[in-house]
Structure 1
Amino acid sequence: MNTLERALIEKVGRENGWENVIESYDPIVVLASARHQAQLSVTPSTTASSFLLQISSDLIHQELIRSLNITVQEGSRIIVPNIDQLARLLHRTAELAQSLQKLAIQTYADRVKEALERTLPNNTEVERLVKQRVGQDIFREALLDYWAGACAVTRIDLPEVLRASHAKPWADCDSDEERLDVFNGFLLSANLDALFDRGLISFDVTGKMIFSPKLSPPHLSNLQLEDGLSLRWLTPEHEPYLAWHRLKIFQM
């Protein structure tokens, strides 16, 4: 790896969520960020203009394999054909690192503490409302990162109409870990969020949208709901929460 290649990798990293250079020497650059705990290494390939990328988190690696059309070399290194694709992959990896790494609980605790210090008077009901508001904000941020800023069904990417929808509602969760788990819900457009929240739609084990019998054919037509709508993807981690939603929320 020559000086120009090293400088280019470091520049692309800084521009796409990896501002910290942990190591940089022939033939590897190791990148990290203050916003999450993941690290990755980038190595120029023997093939002209391509790169090999290795990620410290198995979960992030699995999500990339699932969601992007990429090739993996022996040793779990991802083959990146050019610098533009490297930028795209680094950006997506940073999004996943921020949504999947176990940083939400500490962020939640810190933000709740700050919010309560600014709120008077401080009582049990105020604390409950503050915790819920802060938690919902963190959950939304995580879902925006995980779903790359687009609806999990329609791909609409207008933030103003996107909602963070819990499958297992905040009040019913057994812990803050469940409440803030990025797999406990979906980023949905406002109309789908309202239907999902009230149990008028859900998703089966394949991710296909299912409709409550309370939605008549005219309802479905006017809401532009049709057979074949489905989640853009569904992971095994989603299924326990979806099963809860189908059992407890979905209206039969």
Structure 2
Amino acid sequence: MAVRRNWSREETILAMDLYTRVPFAKIGKSNPDIIELAKLIGRTPDSVALKMSNLAHFDPKLRARNVSGMSHASKLDPQIYEEFASNIGELAFQAQSIIAQIKHSSVEEMIPELEVSDIPVGEYREQQTKARIGQYFFRMSVLVAYGNACCVTGLNNRELLVASHIKPWRVSDAATERTNPSNGLCLNSLHDKAFDKGLITIDKEYRIINSKFIKDASMDDKTREWFDYYDHKEIVLPDKYLPGKDFIEYHNDVIFQG
């Protein structure tokens, strides 16, 4: 009879990292990403899926929708969830470092898109690697949460989608806000730019609000009709990581031009 092996901190970090990038409805033993992680750490897909469901139990956004995941968590599960839920950047960096060690590789080799190989080895390179990993996985987590579709229009071409910060990156806390998926919206490029410049916002009921500058701007009739159509329409809400009310309030008060 096989001896039951407790989950280590490193394995739980990997499960938490994957949880941020898999819709709750797709957590199951047949998910290819779950199968891949199971092979990597020598566990069954059932075991990995169960661990991810245990972590989901601590997700307040799922609880608000009366979805609470499994309740048979270990003492380590809430600790890992609490430590990393608001800091996807640090979670992703640690997870990728663990995977690189298992594979006898490096983060730079596994994710060449980071483009840090030309930076001299040292503290600055590590800082840049962390920052770029944070941005890379923040985008991935936000797009997955919204089903890879714009939350305003439903556009689902990834090349035209942006993981837009509600509270801007430059003024966000590095540990709790910059890579927090609840500080993100999946927007098409035009709505992203309008949101970034405060020409539109969302209210606490998750409705799009146009500013007077959009209403007064010169544009052709079809474009005006397009903006007007979505004014006061509720956005499509994500599978998890609902937009944070504090982030929305910041955008309403500081960024939005009224």
Which interval holds the TM-score relative to the shorter structure? 0.5 to 0.7
Task: Give the match for residue 250 of structure 1.
Answer: 256
Matched, 1:230 2:215: no
Distance 1:212 1:127, change over 3 A: farther
Q: Decide whether the 8 Å contact of 1:116 with 1:122 is kept in 2.
A: no
2:144 counterpart residue number: 145
- Tell me, yes or no, if structure 1 residue 15 matches structure 2 residue 31: yes
What code does the residue aligned with 1:108 have?
Answer: F
Describe how 1:38-57 pairs up with structure 2 within 5 A: 38-40=51-53, 55-57=54-56
What does residue 154 of structure 2 align with? 155
Structure 1 residue ranges without an equivalent (≥5): 1-11, 41-54, 78-98
Equivalent residues in 2 for 1:26-45 (5 A)?
A: 30-32=46-48, 38-40=51-53
Question: How far is the alpha carbon of 1:108 from its aligned partner?
Answer: 3.3
User: Structure 1 residue 244: deviation in Å?
Assistant: 0.8
Tell me by how many angstroms 1:238 deviates: 1.3
Larger deviation: 137-146 or 194-203?
137-146
Cα distance change, pair 62–130 in 1 and its aligned pair in 2 (3 A): closer
Q: Given that residues 161 and 189 in structure 1 are in contact (C-alpha distance below 8 angstroms), is that contact kept between their aligned partners in structure 2?
A: yes
2:117 is matched with 118
User: Which residue is 2:198 aligned to?
Assistant: 199
- Secondary structure of the structure 2 residue equivalent to 1:216: helix
Structure 2 portions without partners, runs of 5+: 1-27, 71-83, 98-105, 109-113
Q: Which has the higher strand share?
A: 1
Contact 2:165-2:183 at 8 Å conserved across structures: yes
Identify which of structures 1 and 2 has the higher relative contact order when contacts are C-alpha pairs closer than 8 Å and 6+ apart.
2
The separation in 2 between residues aligned to 1:148 and 1:108, in whole angstroms, is 24
Find runs of 4+ consecutive structure 1 residues off by over 6 angstroms: 21-24, 122-129
Change (3 A) 1:60 1:150: farther
Higher helix share: 2
**Alignment length (residue pairs):** 194
Q: Aligned partners of 1:173 and 1:194: how far apart in 2?
A: 18
TM-score, scaled to structure 2: 0.59
Q: What are the Cα deviations for residues 141-197 of structure 1, in whole angstroms up to 9, with x where unaligned?
A: 111121121111222111010001001111101223310100002010111100011
Closer/same/farther in 2, CA of residues 117 and 189 from structure 1, 3 Å limit: closer
1:107 counterpart (76, 92, 101): 92
Asked whether the equivalents of residues 150 and 187 of structure 2 are also in contact (C-alpha less than 8 Å), the reply is yes
Query: Percentage identity across aligned positions?
Result: 23
**CA-to-partner distance for each residue in 1:49-71, whole Å, 9 max, x for gaps?**
xxxxxx542245853883xxxx9
